[in-house]
């Protein structure tokens, strides 16, 4: 996740100052269908989610395309304290580090997961013990707010 080239530095500094004095960030975006890899990767990291984040994940992620004007907020996560699922090797495959932040979507506890290796720049991937589309009764295109805890 990078700042847009034309991002106003003053606006970015305002976000940093505001968020530095807060313990959470609210990010808005729209639900999208991902490329279908979440199920596989969450299943590979299942034991790490259970050990580090203390929950057994649903095998898949909810993908939220972040509104462009919200992208600057995600830059704050780069320096925020998080939980880490350490990378590992399994059957000849290498799985990288995943950073995890406690979050809520419509008051349902979940985790924002940020893989070190990802194809997305403006998409939040959300892991939960629930199939969030059903639990929250949401479909592609619907706007949601993600409340992310930071330390």
The predicted structure's pLDDT at residue 10: 61
Of 67, 63, 2, nearest to 35 by C-alpha is 63
In order of start, what are the domains of the chain with their CATH numbers?
9-149 (2.40.30.30)
Percent of the chain, pLDDT > 90? 40
DSSP 8-class letter at 51: I
110, 131 Cβ separation under 8 angstroms: no
The predicted structure's pLDDT at residue 1: 46
pTM of this structure: 0.79
**Contacts (Cβ under 8 Å, ≥6 apart) of 69:** none
């Amino acid at each position: 996740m990078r700042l847009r080239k034309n991002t106003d530095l003053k606006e970015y500094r305002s976000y940093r100052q505001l968020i530095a004095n807060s313990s959470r960030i609210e990010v808005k975006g729209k639900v999208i269908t991902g490329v279908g890899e979440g199920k596989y990767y969450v299943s590979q990291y299942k034991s790490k989610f259970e050990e580090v984040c203390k929950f057994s994940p649903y095998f898949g992620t909810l993908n939220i395309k972040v509104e462009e004007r919200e992208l600057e907020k995600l830059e704050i996560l780069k320096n925020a304290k998080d939980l880490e699922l350490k990378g590992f090797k399994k059957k000849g495959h290498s799985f990288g580090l995943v950073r995890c932040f406690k979050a809520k979507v419509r008051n349902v506890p979940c985790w924002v997961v940020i893989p070190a290796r990802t194809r997305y720049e403006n998409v939040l991937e959300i892991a939960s013990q629930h199939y969030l589309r059903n639990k929250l009764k949401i479909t592609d295109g619907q706007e949601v707010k993600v409340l992310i805890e930071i330390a």
